[in-house]
Each structure stands twice: as structure tokens, then as C-alpha cells.
């Protein structure tokens, strides 16, 4: 999947088109993502020990990953991501890294660091 946790993304279609946020959760099997501040849903909950009053709770819902594009940290443009094979000089290990298709810079997030 081209979007990872902690990426900054912009929604390109739907009700929240044009809004930006950070990816909180990724569901790769369903190809869906949860973005901070996007697609709020209302959840009706009954009283429990965690929430003694119950009531209506608002939280972010998942959107399809195809409705969002990654914002490149270097050129700050919406971009598709590609994969490169990079060899580590010290250990000689080969690893796959994502890169911006517009400026060619590697996209590194907290998760992949």
C-alpha cells in the first residue's frame, strides 16, 4: 500500500476533499485508512465502566486509501510514491524505500525509520 502510518496526506475526493491530516491507522487488507480530523462519524454508546454516561461519541472513520495522496515532506506537493531498492553501505543489506515521484526524494516516516 502506498500510504503508511504517520504520513501526511490530502483527501482528493469525497466530502472532505482538499483537507489534510496525518494517518492514524492503516487497514491494508481493506485498503482503508483513518486520517486525523477527517470523516467524523457519530457512535451511539451505551453506559459502561469506561464511559459511565454513555451517549453520542464523535470519532474519525476510515476512508478508502485511493481517495488520499501523500504530501511529500521535501517539495510539499501531492505525489504518488514509488519503490526503490537501496543498498546499505555498511552492512550491505538491500531494503525497499518509498520515494516521491516528483522530486525523487526518499519518504521516511517514524514507522519506517
Over the stretch 63-107, which tens digit does the pLDDT of each residue have?
999 999 999 999 999 999 999 999 988 888 998 999 999 999 999
Q: How many domains does the chain have?
A: 1
The band of 1, judged by pLDDT with boundaries at 50, 70 and 90, is confident
pTM: 0.83
Instruction: Tell me if 1 is assigned to some domain.
Output: no
Instruction: Tell me if 76 is assigned to some domain.
Output: yes
The band of 111, judged by pLDDT with boundaries at 50, 70 and 90, is low
d(CA 75, CA 54): 45
d(CA 73, CA 67): 19
In 3-state terms, what secondary structure has residue 106? strand
Q: What range does the domain containing 14 cover?
A: 8-47+54-107
- CATH number for the domain that contains residue 65: 2.30.30.30
Instruction: Tell me if 113 is assigned to some domain.
Output: no
Distance from the Cα of residue 28 to its chain's centroid:
11
C-alpha cell at 16: 472532505
Instruction: Tell me if 2 is assigned to some domain.
Output: no
Instruction: Tell me if 22 is assigned to some domain.
Output: yes
Instruction: Tell me if 3 is assigned to some domain.
Output: no
Q: If you average pLDDT over residues 1-14, what whole number do you get? A: 94
Amino acid at each position: 500500500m502506498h500510504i503508511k502510518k504517520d504520513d501526511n496526506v490530502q483527501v482528493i475526493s469525497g466530502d472532505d476533499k482538499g483537507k489534510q491530516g496525518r494517518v492514524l491507522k492503516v487497514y491494508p487488507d481493506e485498503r482503508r485508512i483513518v486520517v486525523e480530523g477527517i470523516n467524523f462519524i457519530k457512535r451511539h454508546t451505551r453506559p459502561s465502566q469506561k464511559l459511565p454516561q454513555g451517549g453520542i461519541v464523535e470519532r474519525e472513520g476510515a476512508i478508502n486509501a485511493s481517495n488520499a495522496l501523500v504530501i511529500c515532506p521535501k517539495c510539499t506537493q501531492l505525489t504518488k510514491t514509488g519503490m526503490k531498492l537501496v543498498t546499505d553501505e555498511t552492512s550491505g543489506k538491500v531494503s525497499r524505500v518509498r520515494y516521491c515521484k516528483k522530486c525523487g526524494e526518499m519518504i521516511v516516516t517514524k514507522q519506517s525509520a
